[in-house]
């Protein structure tokens, strides 16, 4: 199973070459990550995790292949799944599709550590986070 | 009448003081402007106006009063109305509300010229743009 | 007297119309403000004010007139002066010039409150801030 | 040999966790790439390549490891070298150091295709670009 977040490409998302500035694809990844929390737990779920529980998910590794440019006027659909739900880290896979005509524009993964923000050390993924993310873990048959 | 666009404050919209970076309020204004075109004409309405018709709406003046900070976790509701629909320019009024608990966070206006992008000179507001925006013009009684 | 900070327009500063996205002019204003602190006190001056002294300068009002577009390839020179150094607020004036060929592209003002970030209430401008900014106050004869 | 570009972390480069938002590291990479062109050829070198010659360098693959967070107040030094200068693509390596106390914060690579922007097809790396970049190619002994 996967989670999908759609957003129009914005007027200022492009660069001087007229296509979405490549670092913004990682921003699109993060928007989908934020929406996952909002949709599944609530609008303040991720901010409270950080502010109250002092737990964060800094990226330790990110990579992306860019296959097709996105342009202003396009709508981006960002699909989120999980390739590895580890003890102290989670690997998210993101695929960005242009919706019309439909095409895969970018595909990447982001490895997030789970950290105690006060000490900036890795901690175990909290149970409620595992519960929220569990259905997004890719099954062998789905590969 | 007014048009409203809602969006969560994003993880990276804040600055080192932990509140929405003030230039981003003008970005929120623009998002609402883009959504107005998308909703009322279609997802490629504004890009086609620029690319095919070579008409743009550069800002010639913008101002905003910031009344209350927005933070990550908040949802912003941006309300758009028009204070002046002139022959060659349009003055938009934007109000940004925090939705929960509801409060007015910022209020500003942006004067847009209507220009021929090829020559960068002011032209008359096209009739179909007037038709799209007409109901957003503030009535004397609504002030 | 004024303080000047120069920066190239960046590849992603433009929007789909190929000119600097207007909210970025306010970002240019802020870059000049940050550089003022860096140059006059030190690289961590502004972050320490916020983190250690818990004093911030949120904007309460900002306005700008956009006179000429800036494009990728241009260099922006942002000139900072002060039109009012009040007891609890400071009004900065920013002028953004394109350096080659030289032309005034934008001119605006930003009113900053000085606040205790812990309580988010206005406080007096600290003496050392007055000392740092004093020569930037516009003299009557310079208007 | 490598090329180095230094820039302060900006007030709005951070996210709600108070560290540089990870997509911005790729933006830092691009800033260093832009500065390389500016410094070695001239302020309008890259914009003219795109606008006049209609040649661009879209990223086809990017990856980065994040080792240490950067914060507001830090200065980032971005080091550029080339791991592969191919016929139709170039692989840049970027290392981002915090200058004080000095530490490696991120290291990544970006593969750029060289494309004819009018047709968006890969073309040979122009000779003058090879000449500009040649000394940045990592030598076996330097690995």
The answer to whether residue A142 scores a pLDDT higher than 70 is no
Q: Any idea which residue has 């080659």 for tokens? A: C100
| DSSP structure class, residue A8 | E
Look at A120-129, B90-99, C20-29 and tell me which has the smallest mean pLDDT: A120-129
Q: Is A69 on the interface with C (CB under 8 A)?
A: no
Sign of CA dihedral C114, C119, C120, C122: negative
Count of residues in chain A: 143
For B4-40, the pLDDT digits (tens) are: 999 999 999 999 999 999 999 999 999 999 999 999 9
Distance, in angstroms, between A19 CA and closest chain B CA?
Answer: 13
Compute φ and ψ for B71, nearest 5 degrees. Answer: -130, 165
Crossing angle (nearest 10°) for helices C23-40 and B23-40: 170
How far is C52 from C54, CA to CA, in rounded Å?
6
Could you tell me the two tokens for C120?
């988010």
- In chain D, % of residues over pLDDT 70: 98
Of the candidates D50, D69, D110, which has its C-beta nearest A17's C-beta?
Answer: D50
Sequence-separated (6 or more) residues with CB below 8 Å from residue D140: none
For A67-119, the pLDDT digits (tens) are: 999 999 999 999 999 999 999 999 999 999 999 999 999 999 999 999 998 88
The answer to whether residue D120 scores a pLDDT higher than 90 is no
Q: How buried is residue B8: exposed, middle or buried, by Cβ count under 10 Å (0-12/13-18/19+)?
A: buried
pTM of the model: 0.96
Query: How far apart, in Å, do the first and last CA atoms of chain A sit?
Result: 11
Q: How confident is the model at residue D1 (pLDDT cuts 50, 70, 90)?
A: confident
Could you tell me the two tokens for D42?
């001239």
Which letter, b or e, does each residue of A130-140 get, where b requires 16 or more Cβ atoms within 10 Å of its Cβ?
Answer: eeebeebbbee
Distance, in angstroms, between D30 CA and closest chain B CA?
Answer: 19
Averaged confidence pLDDT in chain C: 95
| DSSP structure class, residue B142 | G
CB atoms C15 and A12 under 8 Å: yes
Q: Is C40 on the interface with D (CB under 8 A)?
A: no
For A12-69, the pLDDT digits (tens) are: 999 999 999 999 999 999 999 999 999 999 999 999 999 999 999 999 999 999 999 9
The answer to whether residue B143 scores a pLDDT higher than 60 is no
CB atoms C43 and D100 under 8 Å: yes
Name the residue in chain C with its Cα closest to that of D75.
Answer: C43
Residues of chain D contacting C11 with CB distance shorter than 8 Å: 30, 34, 46
Of the candidates D8, D11, D31, which has its C-beta nearest C43's C-beta?
Answer: D8
The answer to whether residue D55 scores a pLDDT higher than 70 is yes
Averaged confidence pLDDT in chain D: 95
Could you write out the DSSP letters of every residue in C81-94?
EEEEE-SSEEEEEE
The answer to whether residue C142 scores a pLDDT higher than 70 is no
For D63-86, the pLDDT digits (tens) are: 999 999 999 999 999 999 999 999
Model pLDDT, residue C30 = 98
Q: Is B47 on the interface with A (CB under 8 A)?
A: yes
Q: Provide mean pLDDT across the span B49-78.
A: 96
What SS3 state is found at C54?
A: coil
Of the candidates C23, C24, C72, which has its C-beta nearest A16's C-beta?
Answer: C72
Model pLDDT, residue C109 = 98
Q: Is D26 on the interface with B (CB under 8 A)?
A: no
Q: Is D12 on the interface with B (CB under 8 A)?
A: yes
Distance, in angstroms, between C139 CA and closest chain B CA?
Answer: 25
Q: How buried is residue D27: exposed, middle or buried, by Cβ count under 10 Å (0-12/13-18/19+)?
A: buried
Complex confidence, ipTM: 0.95
Q: Is B43 on the interface with A (CB under 8 A)?
A: yes
Residues of chain C contacting A19 with CB distance shorter than 8 Å: none
Q: Is C21 on the interface with A (CB under 8 A)?
A: yes
């Amino acid at each position: 199973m996967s989670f999908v977040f759609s957003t129009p490409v914005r007027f200022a998302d492009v660069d001087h070459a007229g296509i979405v500035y490549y670092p913004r694809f990682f921003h699109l990844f993060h928007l989908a990550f934020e929406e996952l929390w909002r949709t599944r737990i609530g609008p303040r779920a991720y901010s409270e995790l950080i502010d109250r529980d002092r737990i964060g998910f800094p990226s330790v590794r990110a990579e992306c292949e860019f296959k097709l440019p996105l342009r202003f006027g396009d709508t981006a659909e960002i699909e989120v799944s999980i390739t590895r739900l580890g003890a102290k880290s989670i690997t998210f896979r993101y695929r960005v599709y242009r919706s019309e005509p439909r095409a895969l524009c970018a595909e990447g993964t982001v490895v997030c550590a789970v950290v105690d923000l006060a000490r900036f050390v890795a901690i175990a993924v909290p149970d409620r986070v595992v519960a929220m993310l569990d259905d997004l873990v890719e099954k062998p048959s789905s590969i």
